[in-house]
Structure formats: structure tokens, C-alpha cells
Amino acid sequence: MKEVGAYEAKTRFSSILDEVEKGDRISITRRGRPVALLVPAREEKPQPAAVIAALRALRKSVTLGDIPLRQLIEEGRR
């Protein structure tokens, strides 16, 4: 892991972000002591099973007054 002083991090911030974007981890130090860690952000994609479960739960809870959504859908199909 690369270490960069606070002043250098401030003056080279853009290029340091480029390095982190490529996957490097960079420790920012102040007077030789680590104070921050820059790591690449993870892009978390929702799992399909979790999305389907959330939609099913939502479908059961949505109503229009006292009429469940499922009943409205069925009536629309007639």
C-alpha cells in the first residue's frame, strides 16, 4: 500500500484519485501517522432474488383504499 503525506495528497489529489480508481489503496498520513485510507469504491449491484422478493412484498402491501392491488389487476384483465 502506498503512503502519501497530507500536503502531497492535497496537491496531487486528482492523480491520486486516478490511482485509486485503477485499484490501488493509498494511505494518507499526517506527520508520518496514517489518518485516512483511500480505497476503490465498490459498485454493488442488487441481487435479482432480492429485487424479486422486494417487489413481491410490495405487491402484497399496496392497496387502493380497501381494494388490494391484485384485485385491481384481475379486474383490469376482464
Task: Give the chain's mean pLDDT.
Answer: 89
pLDDT in tens, 12-26: 999 999 999 999 999
Number of domains present in the structure of the chain: 2
Question: Residue 7's pLDDT band (boundaries 50, 70, 90)?
Answer: very high
CATH number of the domain residue 31 falls in:
3.40.1620.10
CB 36 within 8 Å of CB 27: yes
Which of 3-12, 40-49, 67-76 has the largest mean confidence? 3-12
Q: In sequence order, what E strands does the chain have?
A: 2-5, 26-30, 33-38, 63-64, 67-68
- Does 73 lie in the same domain as 50? yes
- Does 49 lie in the same domain as 78? yes
Domain interval for residue 66: 45-78
- Does 51 lie in the same domain as 34? no
pLDDT in tens, 22-49: 999 999 999 999 999 999 988 778 899 9
- Does 76 lie in the same domain as 52? yes
